């Protein structure tokens, strides 16, 4: 199964490292994750957004692994942040995470998440 990730030629290129469109094959099974916060596998939540970001990505990776889904099959990410991340830090960790196969992506800033200490939540969709 191959998910086609494309940037149509009839519109401007993405403003960051993502694709505008993901086309999922008809026979794919969808794997939809709840928003993942930045706690570690022991449930501890760091106070800084950078560590929370890294942990949330690792949580997504672990869930997809448990379902036998390759990160290449991740086709949609929504990032909800209460504060900004350093651009270089974000780009480095983001590129490491998707390994050259960036999904369609939405990044938004919100005033608050489920609890005041949560600074990032990442929702993910994949196919297998």
CATH of 4-127, one of 3.40.50.1820, 3.30.1330.40, 1.10.275.10, 3.40.50.300: 3.30.1330.40
Closest to 125 in 3D by CA, of 24, 39, 14, 43: 24
Phi-psi region of 87 (alpha: psi -120 to 50; beta: other; left: phi over 0): alpha
Mean pLDDT for the chain overall? 95
What are the E-state strand segments in the chain? Answer: 4-6, 21-23, 30-37, 74-81, 104-109, 120-127
- 60-92 per-position pLDDT tens digit: 999 999 999 999 999 999 999 999 999 999 999
Structure confidence at residue 17 (pLDDT): 87
CB 93 within 8 A of CB 38: no
- Name the percent of the chain lying above pLDDT 70: 100
C-alpha span between 101 and 71 (Å, rounded) = 8
Which of residues 12 and 2 earns the better pLDDT score? 12
The residue-averaged pLDDT of 25-42 equals 95
C-alpha span between 7 and 15 (Å, rounded) = 11
Structure confidence at residue 16 (pLDDT): 85
- Band the pLDDT of 25: cuts 50, 70, 90: very high
């Amino acid at each position: 199964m191959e998910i086609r990730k494309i940037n149509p030629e009839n519109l401007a290129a993405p403003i960051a490292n993502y694709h505008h469109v993901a086309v999922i094959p008809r026979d794919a099974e969808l794997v939809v994750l709840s928003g993942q916060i930045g706690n570690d596998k022991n449930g501890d939540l760091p106070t800084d957004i950078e560590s929370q970001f890294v942990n949330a990505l690792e949580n997504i990776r672990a869930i997809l692994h448990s379902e036998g889904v390759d990160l290449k099959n991740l086709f949609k990410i929504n990032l909800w942040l209460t504060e900004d991340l350093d651009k270089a830090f974000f780009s480095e960790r983001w590129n490491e995470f998707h390994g050259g196969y960036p999904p369609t992506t939405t990044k938004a800033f919100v005033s608050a998440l489920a609890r005041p200490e949560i600074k990032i939540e990442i929702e993910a969709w994949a196919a297998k």
